[in-house]
Amino acid sequence: INKILHNYPRRSIMSFLEDRSKSDWQSLDSEHYLHPFTDHKDLGNKSRIIAKADGVYVYDIEGNQILDGMSGLWCVNIGYGRSELSEAAASQLNELPYYNSFFQCANPPSIELANKLDKITQKQFNKVFYTGSGSESIDTMIRIVRRYWEVMGHPNKKTIIARKNAYHGSTIAGVSLGGMNAMHKQGGPLLPGIEHVDQPYWFESDRSHSPDDFGKKVASQLEEKILEIGVDNIAAFVGEPIQGAGGVIIPPDSYWPEIQRICNHYGILMVTDEVICGFGRLGEWFGADHFQVKPDLMTFAKGVTSGYLPLGGVMVSEKVSSAIIDKGGEFAHGFTYSGHPASCAVAIENIRILDEENLVSRTKNEIGPYLQNKWKSLEDHPIVGETRMVGLMGAMELVPQKNSPQRFDDKSTAGMTFRNFAVNNGLVMRAVGDTIVTSPPLVISEEEVDELVEKAWICLDHTQSEMTK
């Protein structure tokens, strides 16, 4: 198996930072560095040191080539090694490395980017508020939504409805709005005024309804929640178009239109969290475009710069921005790095590349369908219960027995077995429990897709044999 996996051509790379050995890096890392979402007792001094990247591949400190089926953390949409972005950053850092956007100031890249974002978003959006990350975008969105209702004369409209198993970041607001039990258990108390309804996860349901009926049924929980809490207390509904970190939960087609209908009917704001789905991932500029809904606000980050520099933001519709501006006076909110000139310069260049290289329509019409088709063929494997994918964002469910609702048990190691074997054999994918997710760079070629799917099959074989042991 290892022979097959390593049979792909390797790119030569210069070894990186030769002044320390791999084990030196690892022990320094383990001495001084607290990593996000990491059990340090498990990690010990075995961290994987990634030193270089090009195209869809990353290279560890020893030069091993790994196909990045996750675009870093769902963000490197245009792939690694694009010198246009590093040059845009360098020239902006030389010109104006930093200035703030408080106190009636702005800088050219942040204005230019605001203008570009206006062009690629739906027409109700006319303004952007910049942040430094997805989590800050979520915090900002919550403050804007609540501020909107204050200035509209409805100060009790505070409650925001989100979904269980949603991921909206790691700040207190992000954790509270997200629906991850493991996160809710740590570091509370959480932010008040947040309610959760079920997620539209058909495969996890008892599958007694058709996906479309199931989508409508889950969406109707929003209406029940509004009636339970009282519409006078509800500010907004927030959802990822497709839940990413939760396991690429693709809602049935009936779901989002029903959510839109309910939000319109009760006059509450609808927010799509586009941190993963935005900037071409689903074959449209934004997830809301794919599901043909019209949100009042959209949060974004990640793909806006393809991860080359940190940047996030909130797109705000005319309706909301004009209320806050006309009725609200100063909005007391902002970050040191709101509208950071270098991040904005990189974002402008990133959007230019997405646009001029037709990467969004390529995802929708060419490479997306190409990967979707191959991904579907993984359903022939005995331990795959379902595959699903929109654009270049997909998942497969590992099951002990095909065509049965049974899952591996709660303590299942199937997903982890797959993931660890994959990364040791040149392929990065994420395991969310026993759901394997993928989200490769939008620039991936057909040959690289073939490599990804062939390697995934071999990882499935390995996982199956480990699970039967």
Task: Please give the residue ranges that form the binding site for ligand PXG (CB under 6 A).
Answer: 73, 133-135, 138, 167-169, 174, 240, 244-245, 273, 275-276, 301, 430
Identify which of residues 14 and 182 has a Cβ nearer to ligand PXG in the complex: 182
Identify which of residues 16 and 33 has a Cβ nearer to ligand PXG in the complex: 33
Question: If you search the block for the tokens 């409650």, which residue do you land on?
Answer: 159
Report, in Å, the least distance between residue 427 CB and ligand PXG: 16
Report, in Å, the least distance between residue 37 CB and ligand PXG: 7
Report, in Å, the least distance between residue 133 CB and ligand PXG: 4
Identify which of residues 239 and 400 has a Cβ nearer to ligand PXG in the complex: 239
Is 287:242 a contact under the CB 8 Å cutoff? yes
- DSSP, collapsed to helix, strand or coil, labels residue 226 as helix
Identify which of residues 113 and 275 has a Cβ nearer to ligand PXG in the complex: 275
Is 272:288 a contact under the CB 8 Å cutoff? yes
CA torsion 337-338-344-347 (nearest 10°) is 100
Identify which of residues 67 and 238 has a Cβ nearer to ligand PXG in the complex: 238
Report, in Å, the least distance between residue 95 CB and ligand PXG: 26
- DSSP-derived letter for residue 6 is T
Please tell me the distance from the alpha carbon of residue 223 to that of residue 216, in angstroms, as a whole number. 11
Report, in Å, the least distance between residue 200 CB and ligand PXG: 15
- DSSP, collapsed to helix, strand or coil, labels residue 290 as helix
- DSSP, collapsed to helix, strand or coil, labels residue 86 as helix
The reply to whether omega before 405 is within 30° of 0 (cis) is: no
Identify which of residues 125 and 167 has a Cβ nearer to ligand PXG in the complex: 167
Identify which of residues 5 and 431 has a Cβ nearer to ligand PXG in the complex: 431
Question: What is the DSSP pairing of strand 384-390 with strand 159-163?
Answer: unpaired
Closest of 415, 423, 410 to residue 467, by C-alpha: 415
Is 378:394 a contact under the CB 8 Å cutoff? no
Identify which of residues 311 and 348 has a Cβ nearer to ligand PXG in the complex: 311
Other C-beta atoms lying within 10 Å of the C-beta of residue 176: 24
Closest of 456, 449, 437 to residue 393, by C-alpha: 437
Report, in Å, the least distance between residue 73 CB and ligand PXG: 5
Please tell me the distance from the alpha carbon of residue 242 to that of residue 244, in angstroms, as a whole number. 6
Please tell me the distance from the alpha carbon of residue 152 to that of residue 320, in angstroms, as a whole number. 10
Report, in Å, the least distance between residue 430 CB and ligand PXG: 6
Identify which of residues 52 and 168 has a Cβ nearer to ligand PXG in the complex: 168
Report, in Å, the least distance between residue 214 CB and ligand PXG: 22
Report, in Å, the least distance between residue 241 CB and ligand PXG: 9
Identify which of residues 240 and 349 has a Cβ nearer to ligand PXG in the complex: 240
What are the C-alpha distances in Å from 432 to residues 48, 165, 220? 19, 11, 27
Task: Using CB positions, name the residue nearest to ligand PXG.
Answer: 134
Please tell me the distance from the alpha carbon of residue 127 to that of residue 453, in angstroms, as a whole number. 41
Identify which of residues 5 and 288 has a Cβ nearer to ligand PXG in the complex: 288
Report, in Å, the least distance between residue 227 CB and ligand PXG: 27
Report, in Å, the least distance between residue 465 CB and ligand PXG: 27
Query: DSSP letter string over 329-363?
Result: -------TTTT-HHHHHHHHHHHHHHHHTTHHHHH
Q: Which two tokens stand for residue 215?
A: 């989508």
Element (DSSP H or E) covering residue 43: helix 40-43
- DSSP, collapsed to helix, strand or coil, labels residue 242 as coil
